[in-house]
Amino acid sequence: MRNTPVQRDVVTIRYSLTVVPKAGIITGVSVIGQARRAQRFLRLGARVAPARRSLEQSGFELVHRQEGVYVFMRQR
């Protein structure tokens, strides 16, 4: 029996906070693998909150967070 490698999808979102209203705005995105269901939210200048919700609803987990960066991952 052969071991099948685990395939992962990874999405990194860079963002900056606006002053009014205090919201994260996407300044950079990278996708390794697939994130089709969330793709429409992963645009430069878009708000982070809808992108984050869409990724989480698509099975992604937030695996790293620091100021200005989110990293999401899911296994297929």
Cβ neighbours of 61 (radius 10 Å)? 11
Q: Is residue 45 part of a domain?
A: yes
Q: Is residue 1 part of a domain?
A: no
Predicted confidence at residue 18, as pLDDT, reads 84
Predicted confidence at residue 6, as pLDDT, reads 79
Domain count, the chain: 1
- Say what the pTM is: 0.87
User: What is the signed CA dihedral for 19, 23, 29, 32, rounded to 10 degrees?
Assistant: 150
Q: Which two tokens stand for residue 48?
A: 């982070």
How do residues 25-66 score in pLDDT, each as one tens digit? 999 999 999 999 999 999 999 999 999 999 999 999 999 999
Q: Which domain holds residue 16?
A: 8-75
Q: Is residue 3 part of a domain?
A: no
Q: Which two tokens stand for residue 50?
A: 């809808």
Whether residue 1 is predicted with pLDDT greater than 70 in this model: the reply is no
